[in-house]
Structure 1
């Protein structure tokens, strides 16, 4: 929906929503550097840790399906404030946690905040962009999202290493940041022309026949990329600690930050690649990065892990952004939101169920063997996506006008 007529589009409002976006997403990855303290405090297994992590995806999926189009009906600011309230409730739940149930609830609320915030904030950032910045508005929204996700583990890593109360202090700091984000959101004008009669409904999910050829390889590549994201957010800290013998929270948080930062870089770089080859290049980046991650254990090499993290992040960013663009370009205009929602459902399934399986593998076979298994299976998935992409490019393409119809 377009901005309300006469809505001032100032740099300050634009930056305020971008800041709130980053702060909200920061809370979703904040526990990454804290999981090892939960293991020590409660005696959790690797499987339990991954289940706690994966609870986040259920919240995201629920929010995407239920609240996906509510900001068009209720307004951007209301939904942004709802997302921030869910984020604050998540931090308060973590502060009060005394075991598995509240930790899972905290992650669920965190996912709810991300699901509410992601679509609404992306649209709000674009709508509030001054005319001179409009061409970079989508990049600003993407960067706010990815850098926020990356800053969560970095912030918690610094706090748990340098200060006391590792399972409490990061959430106190985040609550203060959420307060700043709320003030930022309240200071910006409303950009949505809300209807006189509100009609709230569940976001429809569907996949038209004409979209399937583009959707399947893009979804496979995106699935693999988000499995990598789940690995780094939930399991990589254990790999760094157990296999490489590095226990510092700052370094652990920095490595996870590197993945998200490189994903943002990949989303920028993909515009410099020919549209025909973007997804293929992203897949190749993922494969090479995963091979380096797999080698870091047997070689006891931090350098291999860093290189693999950077390459996998860039590959994930390229394949994600290119896949989303390809799907949107072939989807019928009146069903684009449904198709895009289907794509995101696939992605958020990728950061839940496979990661739980990985946690079970860690418990049964150890972190090093589980990592090699993860790398091998994910590479196979990416190669299947790459093969489908190449086959699709070699086949006659449907008439573009038929797709638009």
Structure 2
């Protein structure tokens, strides 16, 4: 084995380790998804409050992205990643100590701060730690770690809550143990950012999209908004629909249904590498549209198999569009603004995961869960189909 081969193997191990840290951090953000029904029984609150608790997390993500989206460009990737892992552990502690809504809100807010820091910094770290050459594998590792982590959270919590003791405690204890491992791994990773001297002041930058990235950012951002709306529906509202409409109370099944969305997203991201950005971005939007149509049909027919089919199709389309979008935006952004640009991309995505879901929760008061879901599905269908048609007529420049 040559020195070059050994160095390439080490580089591959480093970016995969960073992707693992990313996945562990993101898993904590969806860990409570199958547990909301238990919290509702224990504390007593409505479906609207479930979406509000969920939205607090998304608001935390957006606040962190807007306030600290470029901090990893200035301080380095590793300090920001370590801070995000500490915040995730504090979130788990809030859930362990939970005795009412205030600590649920605090836990979700801290989880949102953690995810906001992770989204830009971890994505950039994975891309930068990859060995030289085509960045397709690194881009897939970053986006798959994001979606895979989000999917593993509900699956882990659902299985533990259904088949192990302490359903509202054990999932968070297991996650804290995983965070400790991730913290140690992060400390061992090399820093990829060369610090500037003197260091620019740390100031909230807001939405930072360099001029050269804007043409790629707008359609990719709209596609991400639509795709993350689907994710928000399944992580916040689908557990309630399964329990109330389909009479499915098995928490492991709930976790598996939510996991199927993110698993399909990862599969879509894998296919994007073969299709390329120009074809994958519009195709992803149109497949997402078909998935949302199936979700609407499942609401009308009260069918679990159709709901799962919609979850898989929608997740697959979201994965295609998400990886194509982040690849296009990352390629268009200058090196010194890549972390901030990726953070801005995630701001748009997390606006999609929060605002529509709260709307669904509010509509349930007047229309019920099924009616609110149908209105939501119709809106996402119109948005994703419109973006898909636009991109067919004006495809991205990135190949």
The reply to whether TM is greater than 0.5 is yes
Q: 1:253 aligns with which of 244, 255, 258?
A: 255
Q: What residue is the counterpart of 1:154 in the other structure?
A: 155
Tell me the number of residue pairs that the alignment of Structure 1 and Structure 2 aligns.
390
Q: Where in structure 2 are there 5+ consecutive unaligned residues?
A: 1-6
1:310 matched to 2:319? The reply is no
For residues 104-146 of structure 1, the C-alpha deviation after alignment (integer angstroms, 9 at most, x for no partner) is 1111100111111222222322333355896522222222221
Q: What residue is the counterpart of 2:376 in the other structure?
A: 374
Q: 2:282 aligns with which of 263, 280, 283?
A: 280
* Aligned-partner Cα distance in 2 for 1:49–1:135: 37
SS at match of 1:205: coil
Conserved? CA contact 1:154–1:254, under 8 Å: yes
Q: What residue is the counterpart of 1:388 in the other structure?
A: 390
* 1:213 Cα deviation from its structure 2 partner: 5.7
For residues 137-192 of structure 1, the C-alpha deviation after alignment (integer angstroms, 9 at most, x for no partner) is 22222222211111000000011101232222211111111111112222333333
Conserved? CA contact 1:204–1:338, under 8 Å: no
Range 202-211 or range 51-60, more displaced: 202-211
SS at match of 1:201: coil
1:224 matched to 2:216? The reply is no
Q: Where in structure 1 are there 5+ consecutive unaligned residues?
A: 1-5, 401-405
Conserved? CA contact 1:219–1:347, under 8 Å: yes
* Aligned-partner Cα distance in 1 for 2:55–2:178: 24
Conserved? CA contact 1:205–1:342, under 8 Å: yes
* 1:212 Cα deviation from its structure 2 partner: 5.8
Pairwise mapping of residues 6-405 of structure 1 onto structure 2 (< 5 A)? 9-130=10-131, 136-199=137-200, 200-206=202-208, 214-273=216-275, 275-328=277-330, 340-392=342-394
For residues 252-282 of structure 1, the C-alpha deviation after alignment (integer angstroms, 9 at most, x for no partner) is 1111111111111112212322544322211
* 1:26 Cα deviation from its structure 2 partner: 0.5
Range 205-214 or range 146-155, more displaced: 205-214
* 1:330 Cα deviation from its structure 2 partner: 5.6
Range 160-169 or range 185-194, more displaced: 185-194
* Aligned-partner Cα distance in 1 for 2:326–2:207: 15
SS at match of 2:350: helix
* Aligned-partner Cα distance in 2 for 1:87–1:192: 23
Note closer, same or farther for the CA distance 1:32–1:148 as it changes in structure 2 (3 Å cut): same
Note closer, same or farther for the CA distance 1:286–1:195 as it changes in structure 2 (3 Å cut): same
* Aligned-partner Cα distance in 1 for 2:347–2:108: 18
Range 183-192 or range 82-91, more displaced: 183-192
Note closer, same or farther for the CA distance 1:272–1:130 as it changes in structure 2 (3 Å cut): closer
* Aligned-partner Cα distance in 1 for 2:131–2:214: 37
For residues 314-349 of structure 1, the C-alpha deviation after alignment (integer angstroms, 9 at most, x for no partner) is 111112222334445566777666654443222111
* Aligned-partner Cα distance in 2 for 1:369–1:141: 36
* Aligned-partner Cα distance in 2 for 1:325–1:137: 10
Q: What residue is the counterpart of 2:4 in the other structure?
A: none
**TM-score (normalizing by structure 1):** 0.87
Q: What residue is the counterpart of 1:3 in the other structure?
A: none
* Aligned-partner Cα distance in 2 for 1:221–1:232: 17
Note closer, same or farther for the CA distance 1:214–1:285 as it changes in structure 2 (3 Å cut): same
* Aligned-partner Cα distance in 1 for 2:278–2:127: 26
SS at match of 2:325: helix
Conserved? CA contact 1:244–1:297, under 8 Å: no
* 1:286 Cα deviation from its structure 2 partner: 0.9
Note closer, same or farther for the CA distance 1:186–1:386 as it changes in structure 2 (3 Å cut): closer
* 1:42 Cα deviation from its structure 2 partner: 1.2
Conserved? CA contact 2:16–2:141, under 8 Å: no
**TM-score (normalizing by structure 2):** 0.89
Note closer, same or farther for the CA distance 1:216–1:80 as it changes in structure 2 (3 Å cut): closer
* Aligned-partner Cα distance in 1 for 2:247–2:263: 24
